[in-house]
Amino acid sequence: MIVEFAFGDTGDASKGRLGIGLPLLGGEGRVPISGPVEPAGRQGGLSLWRGAGSIAGYARVGPGLDLESASMQLYADILRAAGGMNLYRIWNCVPRINAAGPGGLENYHAFCRGRSLAFEEGLGRGFAGKLPAASAVGTAGDELFVAFLAGSAPPRHVENPAQVPAYEYPAEHGPRPPSFARATAVEGPSGLDVYVSGTSAVVGHETVAPHDTLAQLECTLENLRLISRASGLGERLGTGRGCRRQFKVYLRNARDLAAVAPRVKERLLSPGDAVSYLRADICRAALNVEIEVAVRGADRS
C-alpha cells in the first residue's frame, strides 16, 4: 500500500488524494496536510487548493528529469502561487535521493541546489530567514514530488540549538546547503500550530551513529525535544495541550519497524495521535530513520 497525501480534513477525493510513492509500513494510510480547502485549479506545474487564509498545492515531475532544473522550476512556481502569503511547510520526495545523477552529483545535492537557487531568485539574498519547515526523503521511482502549505498568518521559523541551521551547512554537504528551518510555528485562532521538519540523528552538522537505527532514534528523539521547546510546545511536542498531532516516521529499512515502532509509541505517542510508518530513503546515506511532526491547535501556555 502506498501512503496518500490529502488536501482538506474530510478525505473527499475532490479535495485531492494522491499517492506519493512511499510504501506504508504501518499506521495511518491517509495523511492530511491542510485544513479545509477547495480546489483552485492549476498554476504553472502546481495543482492548488485554497481555504480561509491558506493555500496548498502539489506538483510532480518525471521521469527523465534534470533534478536541479526541475526543482528550481517547481520552487519558482510555489513562490509565485504563494505570493502574498507565508510558507509554512514543504514536503519533497526525491527520486533515488542518495544516487549519483548524470553529472556525478548526488541527486539530493542537485535537488538542494535547484531549491536554493529558486529561493534566492524569488526571495533575495536574505532568503534564509524566510525558509519554512520541510522534509526531503527518497523514493524508488522516477518522479520528483513537492507539496506545500502557506498561509496569511505570520510564522516564526525555529532552529535547534544543538544543530547548525541546515542553510548554513558547510560545503561537504553539497554545493548549496539545504533550504529549510527545523520547524515553523504559527499562532492562529484555534491555538498554536507547529510544523516540525524531518528530524534525524544530526548534531552540529555531523551524522550520529552511522547506520545504527536505534542509536539514531535516540538522538532523533532528543532533537525533537529541543525543537519542541524552541517552538513553544514545551518538552513533549504539546502533550496535554489539547492539540491534534500527526507523526510520520520514515525508515530506510522496513525490517526496523518491529524495533522502532514500540519505542516511538512509548516515547512520543499519546492516545488520539496519528502516526504513519513509511519506507523511504533518508537524505544522507548513513541515516536510517527520520521523524516529522505536525501539531495543530495547541493551547497557549
Taking only Cα atoms into account, the Rg of the chain, rounded to an integer number of angstroms, comes to 18
Q: What's the angle, vertex CA 230, arms to CA 172 and CA 93, rounded to 5? A: 50
DSSP-H helix ranges across the chain: 67-81, 107-123, 213-231, 257-267
Place of cell 532544473: 69
Write down the catalytic residue from 4, 68, 106, 290. Answer: 290
Dihedral pair phi/psi, residue 25, rounded to 5°? -95, -25
How far is residue 120's CA from residue 40's CA, in Å, rounded to a whole number?
Answer: 27
Active site residue 292: no
How far is residue 146's CA from residue 87's CA, in Å, rounded to a whole number?
Answer: 13
- Do the beta carbons of residue 133 and residue 148 sit within 8 Å? no
How far is residue 12's CA from residue 107's CA, in Å, rounded to a whole number?
Answer: 34
* Displacement of CA 243 from its chain's centroid (Å): 19
Q: Residue 258 carries which side chain, given as an amino acid letter?
A: A
Q: What's the angle, vertex CA 100, arms to CA 94 and CA 105, rounded to 5? A: 95
Neighbouring CB atoms inside 10 A of 98's CB total 17
Three-state DSSP state, 149: strand
Between strands 86-95 and 133-139, the pairing is parallel
Where on the phi/psi map is residue 249: left (φ > 0), alpha (ψ -120 to 50), or beta? beta
| Active site members | 290
